[in-house]
């Protein structure tokens, strides 16, 4: 029985590495995703083009403009044009925010009166506007406290934990891990099984004394191994190249990844029982993955979705695993903090895998 | 002229008879608009905030009310016993923890100073930034309301004003850009597949032998797709207005004109792609990877171009969608006029000219 | 090992209303070469699949190598070799890799496989192409590889489903020479074929038509009984008359 299992695994690996389609998927996917989510899909808001209309041009106002450059949040440009052109620059997309410093800026500060600056934001880019206003308020508050004798008696001291540099790639890499694991196992497993059926070799296999169970295990083991290998690869690149933090326990992550594997392998198994060609299997797995990713909280927080969609996401096994990976990597969360997600994940793994395995062995 | 119409009609026949491409063309735009408008919602709301109030004054309670009155924050679903912000965040019970120290009320009445501590989970950088921003706003407004009338805030403060999208709805940001994508999909993707199919089945050769001028063939074949592209665009715009409330402030004529330029550019790309491939499948893959994907990534559709590595920023300059996205947002949301959009417009026209020249040469080499 | 290699009694398989196999009974003795003939769609492949444990009978039953096909299919599989119409080799693997894999599937140790592979390679002249991917091989060579796979675990009974379809006469002849050698070694061979000359190599044959066995016996006896010019004639006239009575 072990010989048969080993033979199956060896055969599968041989076939995978001789199939150009699969090779493309295995090697190109992680690289593309890493480049894409590491470099292109930057969601952090930085280098906002800020027009400064400085009607005073004193040393203090210049200091203020310099202060606005702190943290790379803004790229201020001094504008000499009249105020009426403000909107034109917004419309052309040349600038995103405008700050107006009145002519009595220093005077008012020295007199002890307050000074209110007008800050205009281009709301078309809603996210940048929101975040930009927040940054501006922070910088102004700091300036006010340091340069004027006056400040509000109520202060806010903020600490940002886990990702103080607001690097979106730290947030993305766990997502890549989850996506890859899912796609590799679901897609490739279903394709491999369907391919056997397409070629007629499945029948030849069934004539041998290999039990259905051994066949099942022999089919999924290679892809489980591949999936974990890819995960290790992405994590290594993420940590070493992108400097993504890994605060928690790798062992815990591995254990929970194995549990998740049962879910995605189960899904792949299921697809193999309802499709007849490799193309079909690939499409099914592809659509499932895309849908799962979009509703897993990878791109946008689940809390932002409409209520009905939020409830639906509880049915998405990926959601729990994504949270687990993020929490372990970025916060160093342990099993006790992740109980709910672990429980949900385990339930899904058992249910989905058993269901698909039974379906598979029955045929 | 008659021949042109005949070819166009035949093409329409083809399209109507193929239910698959029809669904792609009609159903997909609506579905995708729906998907992008709702699922990929960047408006950060319902941030789970835990407020730990050590002051327990009526003032602090009022602040608490203010915080949760808006849609920005929600209370944690389960009551939190934990008092250590770090542990709360680690367990994922809240996105942010605000601790109101004792002496808050006293500080408000001018006696002492006091510092509120805000601890934010920075994992999702956008949520973190939004949380910071919202709390700033709420606190600032709260403080202003506390002051006696006619007394201005000490120190330097900011009075923000938001133009064009005062409710900061991300659907306003995303949906107009979708039009750019759909136009591209129809003009480049579909046409390249159609032209490739003709090549595959050999009917293109047949057509070329008929007493029809090649230019008539081309225009006749592509005309239905231009129409479809427009219908799609109108569909998305209608959807945008009705479902998401996206306004249309500027000149429809300007958008039409520049839209046409954009469509012609995309058509050129479609023709070019079809001339390089032999089968439909390859045409679809090539079109998807060279037009759709880069446009989604590098047009400023969702991701800010200026935050990308320089190489990618340069690459984005030859992507027509980049200019059209700025144009359509400018016209729809901000009422931008021709003078303001001159740079984008001219860049787009230049790209169109280049594309048409290349495509024309490719097509005529094939004819001869 | 019992005297009879294959025993089937009233074996039937229905697919809904359609009776693919309708109360088939026959016995094959050990060491016999039995030809299983019939027109396309007569039910030959379905019968073989039931005998190999791939399909459950709807009614009736039988035993192969002494094991009941309905209750002990796993035991049956250990004692038979099967060569399907398509030769079912993995196209992206070499002949050697295919053989090693199927050997492992039958629970053979690597050393054992290697030994037997050598013997088989000698016997079936596989050396020339055994390390090439099977996808690139012509039909005749794939046929020999498939036979090697079927023989690897030294089964007592061989089921061959149209093993020479699409193969040129030279290979066919060589193939049957090998089968003769196997028969001399007391291996039972159960083969379906469309080639009447091959049918004449068999000890006994049966002819199936629409799920039923309509003739059974030695080729020579059948020809004489039907007063035909040869086996092919006998076959054709038999089928034709059956069609006529059904029409």
Residue B132 in contact with partner chain A when CB distance is under 8 A: yes
Cα–Cα distance for residue pair B129/A305, rounded to 1 Å: 18
Query: Tens-digit pLDDT profile for chain C (247 aa)?
Result: 457 888 898 899 999 888 889 899 999 998 899 999 888 888 888 999 899 888 889 998 899 988 998 888 888 999 999 998 777 889 899 999 999 999 999 989 999 999 999 999 988 888 888 999 998 998 888 888 999 999 999 999 999 988 888 888 888 888 888 899 898 988 999 999 888 888 888 999 998 888 888 889 998 888 888 888 888 888 888 888 888 877 5
pLDDT(A82) > 70: yes
Residues in Cβ contact with B102 at an 8 Å cutoff, skipping those fewer than 6 apart: B54, B55
Contact list, A11 vs chain C (CB under 8 Å) = 90, 93, 97, 101
Report how far apart, in Å, the C-alpha atoms of B246 and of each of A121, A257, B33, B71, B232 are: 18, 43, 12, 20, 17
Residue (of C113, C81, C78, C115) closest to C97 by Cα position: C113
pTM: 0.78
Looking at the complex, report in whole angstroms how far the Cα of residue B132 sits from the nearest Cα belonging to chain A.
6
Test the A interface: residue of C88, C97, C145 with most A CBs within 10 Å:
C88
CB < 8 Å from A in window 69-88 of B: 74, 86
pLDDT at B202: 75
- Chain B: give the shortest CA distance to residue A362, in Å: 34
Q: Break chain C down into helix, strand, coil percent, rounded to 5.
A: 40, 25, 35
Contact between residue C235 and residue C196 where contact means Cβ atoms under 8 Å apart: yes
Question: Which is nearest to C80 in space by CA: C91, C94, C95, C69?
Answer: C69
The dihedral region occupied by C16, where left means phi > 0, alpha psi between -120 and 50, and beta the remainder, is: left
Question: Hey, which bits of C114-203 come out as E strands?
Answer: 157-161, 188-192
B365: buried, middle or exposed (CB in 10 Å: 19+, 13-18, 0-12)? exposed
Read off the DSSP letter of residue B70. S
Instruction: Tell me how many residue pairs between chain A and chain C have CB atoms under 8 A apart.
Output: 69
pLDDT at B25: 66
**If residue B126 lies in a helix (H) or strand (E), which one and from where to where?**
helix B125-146
Specify the DSSP element, H or E, that contains A265: helix A250-274
* Phi and psi at residue A156, to the nearest 5°: -120, 125
Residue B277 is predicted with a pLDDT of 80
Among C78, C84, C90, the residue with its CB nearest the CB of A15 is: C90
Nearest to B132 among A125, A158, A295 (CB): A158
Mark out chain A residues that contact chain C at CB-CB < 8 A: 1, 3-4, 6-8, 10-11, 14-15, 18-19, 199-201, 203-211
Give residue B138's Cα distance to chain centre. 28
Q: What is the pLDDT of residue C114?
A: 93
SS3 of A308-324: the string is HHHHHHHHCHHHHHHHH
**CB distance from B201 to chain A under 8 Å?**
no
Partners for B (CB, 8 Å, 3+ pairs)? A
The CA distance from B162 to B144, in Å, is 19
Contacts of A194 (CB under 8 A, 6+ apart): A272, A275, A276, A277, A278, A280, A281
Give the number of other CB atoms < 10 A from CB of residue B350. 12
The reported pLDDT for the residue numbered A353 is 94
Instruction: Report the distance separating Cα C121 and Cα C123, nearest Å.
Output: 5
Instruction: Please name which of B225, B220, B227 lies closest in space to residue B2, comparing C-alpha atoms.
Output: B220
Among candidates B122, B169, B306 on the partner chain, residue whose Cβ is nearest the Cβ of A161: B122
Q: Which residue in chain C is spatially nearest to A208 when comparing CA positions?
A: C77
Summary mean pLDDT of chain A: 87
What is the spatial distance between Cα B91 and Cα C64, in angstroms, rounded to a whole number?
A: 63
Contact C107 A3 (CB under 8 A): yes
Tally A–B CB contacts below 8 A: 304
Which pairing describes strands A97-101 and B156-163: parallel, antiparallel, or unpaired? Answer: unpaired
B306 touches chain A (CB under 8 A): yes
Tell me how far apart the alpha carbons of residues B321 and B291 are, in angstroms, rounded to a whole number: 9
Angle at Cα C224 formed by Cα C219 and Cα C226, nearest 5°? 95
How far C196 CA sits from the closest chain A CA (Å)? 27
Question: Do residue A301 and residue B127 have CB atoms under 8 angstroms apart?
Answer: yes
The predicted model gives A104-127 an average pLDDT of 83
Residues C163 and C175: beta-carbon distance below 8 Å: yes
Dihedral pair phi/psi, residue A160, rounded to 5°: -105, 120
- Bridge partners of A101, per DSSP, are A54
Residues C164 and C192: their CA atoms lie apart, in Å, by 9
Q: Does B311 touch chain A (CB under 8 A)?
A: no
pLDDT along chain B (368 residues), means of 10: 76 72 68 70 82 89 90 84 83 88 81 82 85 85 73 69 82 85 81 79 73 74 82 84 88 91 90 82 78 84 83 89 91 87 90 88 73
Of A43, A157, A338, the CB nearest to B117: A157
CB contact under 8 A, C88 and A206: no
Helices (H), ranges, A81-211: 86-91, 105-111, 126-147, 168-183, 189-199, 201-207
**Distant-in-sequence, close-in-space partners of B11: CB < 8 Å, separation ≥ 6:** B194, B220, B221, B223, B224, B225
Which of A131, A161, A162 shows the shortest C-beta gap to B130? Answer: A131
CB C25 within 8 A of CB C57: no
Q: Return d(Cα B260, Cα A287) in angstroms, integer.
A: 33
Measured distance CA(C184)–CA(B329) in Å, rounded = 86
Name which of A109-113, A190-194, B103-107, C204-208 the model is least confident about: A109-113
Give the distance from residue A331's alpha carbon to the nearest chain C alpha carbon, in angstroms: 46
Quote the distance between the C-alpha of residue B8 and its chain's center: 33
Pick from B197, B270, B274: which is nearest to B228 by CA?
A: B270
Q: What is the pLDDT of residue B22?
A: 66
Subunit contact C90:A199, Cβ cutoff 8 A: yes
Write down which chains contact chain C via at least 3 CB pairs under 8 A.
A
Name the token pair of B267: 């058509």
Furthest CA-CA distance within chain B: 94
Judge B/C contact: 3 or more CB pairs < 8 A: no
- Residue B75 has phi, psi (to 5 degrees) of -75, 155
Average pLDDT over residues A105-124: 83
> Given an 8 Å threshold on Cβ–Cβ distance, is C103 in contact with A7?
yes
Say what the pLDDT of residue B191 is. 81
Nearest-CA distance from A73 to chain B in Å?
11
Closest Cα of chain C to A209: distance in Å? Answer: 5
Q: What pLDDT is attached to residue A348?
A: 95
Contacts of A107 (CB under 8 A, 6+ apart): none
Pairing of strands B156-163, C80-83: unpaired
Beta-carbon separation of B130 and A129 below 8 A? no
Under 8 Å between Cβ of B339 and B346? no
User: What value, to the nearest 5°, has the Cα angle with vertex B353 and ends B348 and B358?
Assistant: 125
Task: From residue C71, give the alpha-carbon distance in Å to each of C30, C56, C68, C75, C157.
Answer: 22, 10, 6, 9, 19
Q: What does the alpha-carbon distance between residue A185 and residue A50 come to, in Å, rounded to a whole number?
A: 47
C235 and chain A in contact, CB less than 8 A = no
ipTM associated with this complex: 0.80
With b for 16 or more beta-carbon neighbours within 10 A and e for fewer, the A257-277 pattern comes to bebbbbbbbbbbbbbbeebee
Q: A92 and B340 in contact by Cβ < 8 A?
A: yes
Show which of residues 51-110 on chain C sit within 8 Å of chain A, judged by CB atoms: 52-54, 74, 77-78, 80, 82, 84, 86, 88-93, 97, 100-109
């Amino acid at each position: 029985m072990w010989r048969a299992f080993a033979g199956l695994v060896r055969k599968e690996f041989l076939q995978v590495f001789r199939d150009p389609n699969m090779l493309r998927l295995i090697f190109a996917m992680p690289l593309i995703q890493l480049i894409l989510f590491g470099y292109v899909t930057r969601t952090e808001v930085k280098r906002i083009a800020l027009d400064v209309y400085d009607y005073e041009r004193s040393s203090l106002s210049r200091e203020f403009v310099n202060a606005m450059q702190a943290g790379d949040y803004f790229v201020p440009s001094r504008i000499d044009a009249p105020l009426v052109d403000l909107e034109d620059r917004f419309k052309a997309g040349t600038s995103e925010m405008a700050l107006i410093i009145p002519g009595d800026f220093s005077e008012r500060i020295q007199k002890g009166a307050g000074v209110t600056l007008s800050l205009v934001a281009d709301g078309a880019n809603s996210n940048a506007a929101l975040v930009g206003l927040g940054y501006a308020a922070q910088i102004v508050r700091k300036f006010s406290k340091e340069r004027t004798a006056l400040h509000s008696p109520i202060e806010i001291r903020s600490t940002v934990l886990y990702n103080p540099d607001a690097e979106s790639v730290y947030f993305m890499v766990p997502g890549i891990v989850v996506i890859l694991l899912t796609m590799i196992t679901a897609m490739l497993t279903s394709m491999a099984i369907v391919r056997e059926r397409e070629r007629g070799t499945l029948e030849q296999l069934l004539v041998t004394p290999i039990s259905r169970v051994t066949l099942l295990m022999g089919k999924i083991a290679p892809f489980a191994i591949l999936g974990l290998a890819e995960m290790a690869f992405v994590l290594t690149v993420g940590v070493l190249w992108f400097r993504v933090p890994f605060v928690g326990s790798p062992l815990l992550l591995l254990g929970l990844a194995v549990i998740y594997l049962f879910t995605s392998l189960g899904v792949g198994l299921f697809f193999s029982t309802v499709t007849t060609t490799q193309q079909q299997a690939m499409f099914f797995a592809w659509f499932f993955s895309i849908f799962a990713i979009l509703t897993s909280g990878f791109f946008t927080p689940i809390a932002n979705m409409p209520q009905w969609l939020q409830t639906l996401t509880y049915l998405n096994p990926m959601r729990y695993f994504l949270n687990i990976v993020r929490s372990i990597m970025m916060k160093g969360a342990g099993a006790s903090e992740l109980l709910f997600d672990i429980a949900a994940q385990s339930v899904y793994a058992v249910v989905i895998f058993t269901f698909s395995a039974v379906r598979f062995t029955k045929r | 002229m008659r021949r042109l119409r005949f070819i166009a009609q035949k093409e329409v026949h083809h399209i109507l008879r193929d239910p698959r491409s029809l669904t792609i063309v009609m159903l997909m735009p609506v579905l995708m608009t729906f998907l992008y408008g709702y699922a990929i919602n960047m408006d950060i709301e319902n941030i789970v905030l835990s407020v730990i109030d050590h002051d327990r004054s009526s003032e602090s309670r009022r602040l608490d009310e203010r915080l949760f009155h808006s849609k920005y924050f929600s209370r944690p679903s389960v009551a939190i016993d934990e008092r250590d912000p770090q542990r709360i965040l680690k367990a994922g019970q809240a996105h942010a923890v605000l601790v109101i120290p004792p002496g808050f009320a006293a500080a408000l009445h001018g006696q002492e100073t006091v510092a509120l501590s805000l601890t934010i989970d920075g994992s999702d950088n956008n949520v973190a930034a939004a949380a910071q921003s919202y709390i700033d706003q709420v606190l600032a407004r709260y403080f202003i309301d506390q002051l006696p009338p006619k007394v201005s805030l000490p120190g330097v403060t900011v009075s923000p004003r938001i133009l064009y999208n005062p409710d900061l709805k991300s659907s306003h940001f995303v949906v107009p850009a979708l039009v750019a994508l759909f136009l591209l999909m129809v003009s480049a993707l579909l046409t390249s597949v159609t032209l490739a199919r003709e090549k595959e089945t050999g009917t293109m050769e047949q057509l070329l032998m008929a007493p029809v001028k090649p230019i008539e063939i081309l225009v006749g074949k592509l005309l239905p797709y231009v129409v479809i592209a427009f219908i799609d665009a109108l569909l998305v715009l209608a959807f945008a207005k009705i479902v998401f409330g996206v306004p249309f402030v500027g000149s429809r004529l300007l958008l039409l004109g520049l839209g046409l330029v954009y469509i012609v550019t995309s058509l050129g790309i479609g023709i070019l792609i079809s001339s390089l491939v032999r089968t439909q499948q390859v045409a679809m893959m090539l079109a998807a990877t060279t037009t759709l994907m880069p446009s989604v990534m590098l047009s400023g559709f969702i991701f800010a171009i200026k935050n990308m590595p320089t190489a990618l920023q340069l690459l984005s300059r030859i992507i027509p969608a980049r200019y059209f996205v700025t144009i359509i947002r400018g016209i729809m949301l901000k009422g931008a006029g021709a003078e303001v959009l001159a740079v984008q417009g001219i860049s787009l026209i230049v790209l169109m000219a280049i594309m048409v020249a290349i495509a024309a040469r490719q097509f005529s080499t094939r004819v001869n | 090992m019992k005297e009879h290699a294959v025993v089937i009694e009233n074996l039937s398989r229905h697919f809904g209303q359609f009776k693919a196999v309708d109360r088939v009974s026959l016995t094959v003795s050990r060491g016999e070469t039995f030809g299983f003939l019939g027109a396309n769609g007569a039910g030959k492949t379905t019968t073989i699949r039931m005998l190999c444990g791939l399909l459950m009978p709807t009614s009736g039953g039988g035993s192969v190598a002494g094991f009941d096909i309905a209750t002990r299919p796993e035991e049956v599989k250990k004692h038979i070799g099967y060569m399907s119409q398509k030769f079912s080799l993995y196209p992206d693997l070499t002949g050697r890799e295919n053989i090693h894999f199927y050997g492992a599937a039958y629970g053979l140790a690597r050393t054992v496989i290697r030994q037997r592979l050598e013997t088989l390679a000698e016997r079936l002249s596989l050396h020339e192409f055994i390390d090439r991917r099977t996808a690139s091989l012509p039909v005749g060579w794939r046929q020999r590889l498939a036979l090697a796979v079927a023989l690897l675990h030294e089964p007592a009974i061989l089921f061959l489903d149209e093993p020479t379809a699409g193969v040129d006469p030279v290979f066919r002849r060589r193939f049957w020479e090998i089968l003769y050698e196997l028969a001399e070694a007391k291996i039972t061979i159960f083969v379906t074929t469309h080639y009447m000359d091959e049918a004449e190599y068999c000890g006994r044959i049966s002819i199936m038509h629409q799920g039923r066995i309509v003739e059974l016996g030695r080729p020579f006896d059948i020809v004489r009984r039907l007063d035909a010019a040869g086996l092919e004639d006998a076959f054709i006239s038999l089928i034709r008359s059956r069609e006529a009575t059904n029409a």
